[in-house]
Amino acid sequence: MRTLMHVSRHVVKPQEPISGVKRQILVHGANLMLVYFEIDEGARVPMHSHVHEQAGYVIRGRIIFKTSSGEVLVSEGDAYLFKSNEPHEAYNPGPGKTTLLEIFSPPREDFLKQP
């Protein structure tokens, strides 16, 4: 029985839950989910929280995260972590598109339910 899950990002249909924010669920298992994001310059993910831990890495561009403790500019090559239920929002100040790779634990069931 094959146990390795292998997926090419180029064949995964993007979802656009917010204008200017595209995500592709690359792989997910029982305990984690790997998601690729492209965020257009000027796009914003509004303040939200979720029970999932969220770790990420900025592949390209910059992103400003706003939390209860203030704003943090996270740039290409930087990693970050949001604890479970930590309120946060995200904004791409530019220039250009920002690309992120994020891991959620446990998997985001709400992402899986969206077409």
Domain ranges of the chain: 16-113
pLDDT-derived band at 80, boundaries 50, 70, 90: very high
Q: What is the pTM assigned to this prediction?
A: 0.92
Domain spanning 16-113: CATH superfamily:
Jelly Rolls (2.60.120.10)
With contact defined as beta carbons under 8 Å apart, do 18 and 58 qualify?
Answer: no
Alpha-carbon distance values, 24 to 59, 70, 71, 112 (Å):
15, 28, 26, 10
CB-based burial label for 23 (10 Å; 0-12, 13-18, 19+): buried
**Residue 73: is its pLDDT beyond 70?**
yes
pLDDT-derived band at 4, boundaries 50, 70, 90: confident
pLDDT-derived band at 2, boundaries 50, 70, 90: low
- CA-wise closest residue to 8 among 21, 23, 22, 27: 27
Residue 66 and residue 105: Cα distance in Å, rounded? Answer: 21
Tokens standing for residue 64: 């400003």
At 3 the pLDDT is 81
Does the CA dihedral 108-63-47-114 come out positive or negative?
negative
